[in-house]
A and B are shown apart, each in its own frame.
Chain A
Amino acid sequence: MDWLNLVILPAIRVIIMIFVLLTGAAYLTWYERKLISRFQIRYGPNRAGIYGLLQPAADGIKAIFKEEIIPNHVDKVIYLMGPALALIPAIVIWAVIPIAKETPAIADVNIGFLWILAIAGVESYGLILAGWSSNNNYSLLGALRSSAQMISYELPMGVFLASVLMLAGSFSLVELVQNPRPWWEWIWLWAMFPFFFICILAETNRAPFDLPETENELVAGYQTEYGGMKFSLFMIAEYINMITTSTIMATIFFGGWKLPFGILQNVVILGPFVLLAKVLVLLFLFVWVRASIGRPRYDQLMSFTWKFLLPLSLVYMFITALLTIQFK
């Protein structure tokens, strides 16, 4: 009995979660391609299934049955570890995110925030190992760029999250959603949202901060020497990261699985759908930004975080500390 509760049930939950995440990532590619094509006044995928809904399945099958090539000049073990190391943290980070009332995805531990920060720190290893082991000039430069960018934007993001922790007074994401907040706290958090969103865009290597993969200078950045399923794993990891970060933002800034003003608070089954709606809106933001804004230069990208976002986040945290002491 103990065995069943302790190992089998969590394992089933984990497998369901991985399945949902992979399907979500696959359909996010469809969502993005459809939206991007609408922004550019064209149809997008519309041949495989109605509205092109079978396109992700077709892409997946194609990727799995591609010829696997491991070039001669690469460092084989690390080269193969790269895509796996990009994918594993993207899945693992999901464990602590609450998806319905008092229900985190996998484990209800009181260190939710620390877990997210720790795993987010591991994410850049996959990219840098992939770029280094490929032994290709494009890959190396792409990996250097992406790791420098990711660690630089992690700092203001970390300080912003410290401010969130201050207001929440707990490391638990479940408590963060559950505890009621006064109105000034919401407004103060929303004032930070645009800057946090910029950090997230850079963290996930999304446009307009996709400088590691600028096609016209670096081909595909750290992914240049990868093909078939190994390339797809990087893509899947990126799209899962988009879903993850959107969910984290929905949880921190927009009340997670809760409807505003405590409407239908006790209908537990509604939680995941409310969360999904919020996540879809945030994902739309990702795509909208990609369709509308061009890339900055790399030096602009770096000085923006070090000379603007980091000082701003420190000032924000200072004021948050004063507010917390005064009103909490």
Chain B
Amino acid sequence: MAIDYLPLLILVIIAIGFGAIAVIGPSLLGPSRQNKQKLEPYESGMIPFADARRRFPIKYYMVAMLFLLFDIEVLFLYPWAVTLRELRWQAFAPMGFFLILLVFGFLYEWKKGALRWED
């Protein structure tokens, strides 16, 4: 029933309101004595020499990509896992085939060095 989900909606709305108040509210309460040093980027007391918007290792991108692939496969697992009791071997066989393909893909990426962090 859709009406069962109404409390979830109420919860989300109240939580968002609470988050907004918690972020904005304290700035009305505290003192405000700002100067140039306070508003500079923190770099352990050094004078910041460059913007942080620059290139960073591609490894993070790689991890995100592999995660996307695997996470979508994991999503397929949930409905399968819940109905396995009723469908038994009938559901096990196709998912087994799918998982074998997945494992081969995983081994391939492993051998290709996609999981190697240090180079």
Collect the chain A residues with CB atoms within 8 Å of residue B8's CB. Answer: 95, 106-107, 109, 115
B118 touches A299 (CB 8 A): yes
A14 touches B77 (CB 8 A): no
Q: Is A141 an interface residue (CB 8 A)?
A: yes
B39 touches A159 (CB 8 A): no
Collect the chain A residues with CB atoms within 8 Å of residue B92's CB. Answer: 321, 325
Find B81's partner among A65, A70, A162, A233 (CB 8 Å cutoff).
A162
A307 touches B110 (CB 8 A): yes
- A61-104 to B contact mask, C-beta < 8 Å, 1/0: 00111111111110000001101110110011001000000000
A219 touches B42 (CB 8 A): yes
Collect the chain A residues with CB atoms within 8 Å of residue B108's CB. Answer: none
Given contacts A69-B34, A155-B70, contact A166 B23 (CB under 8 A): no
- Stretch with Cβ within 8 A of B (4 or more), from A44-52, A132-140, A198-206, A287-295: A132-140
Find B6's partner among A10, A65, A117, A144 (CB 8 Å cutoff).
A10
Given contacts A109-B4, A137-B52, A139-B52, contact A87 B117 (CB under 8 A): no
Collect the chain B residues with CB atoms within 8 Å of residue A11's CB. Answer: 10, 14
Give chain B's interface secondary structure class. helix
* Residue among B10, B11, B22, B85 having the largest count of chain A Cβ atoms under 10 Å: B11
Q: Is B112 an interface residue (CB 8 A)?
A: no
A91 touches B18 (CB 8 A): yes
Please measure, in the bound complex, the distance between the C-alpha atom of A114 and the C-alpha atom of B79, giving whole angstroms: 10
Q: Which residues of chain A from 1 to 49 have any CB-CB distance to chain B below 8 Å in the complex?
A: 6-7, 10-11, 13-15, 17-18
Minimum distance in angstroms from A233 CB to a CB of chain B: 6
For chain B, the bracket of interface size reads 35 or more
A162 touches B78 (CB 8 A): yes
Please measure, in the bound complex, the distance between the C-alpha atom of A204 and the C-alpha atom of B8, giving whole angstroms: 23
Please measure, in the bound complex, the distance between the C-alpha atom of A104 and the C-alpha atom of B50, giving whole angstroms: 51
* Residue among B23, B30, B92 having the largest count of chain A Cβ atoms under 10 Å: B23
Collect the chain A residues with CB atoms within 8 Å of residue B27's CB. Answer: 68
Collect the chain B residues with CB atoms within 8 Å of residue A280's CB. Answer: none
Collect the chain A residues with CB atoms within 8 Å of residue B59's CB. Answer: 148
- Stretch with Cβ within 8 A of B (4 or more), from A221-229, A243-251, A253-261, A264-272: A221-229
Q: Is B63 an interface residue (CB 8 A)?
A: yes
B33 touches A88 (CB 8 A): no
CB nearest neighbor in B for A325: B88
Collect the chain A residues with CB atoms within 8 Å of residue B50's CB. Answer: 137
With A18-B14, A87-B15 known, 17 other A-B pairs at CB within 8 A are A11-B10, A18-B15, A71-B38, A84-B22, A87-B18, A91-B11, A107-B5, A135-B41, A135-B53, A136-B41, A151-B71, A152-B63, A159-B77, A224-B42, A229-B23, A299-B117, A314-B99
B contact residues vs A (CB 8 Å cutoff) = 3-8, 10-12, 14-16, 18-20, 22-27, 29-34, 38-44, 50-53, 56, 59-60, 63-64, 66-67, 70-71, 74, 77-78, 81-82, 84-85, 88-89, 92, 95, 99, 102-103, 106, 110, 115-118
12 contacts between A and B (CB under 8 A): A14-B11, A17-B11, A73-B51, A84-B20, A88-B12, A107-B8, A135-B53, A136-B52, A137-B50, A166-B81, A306-B115, A317-B81
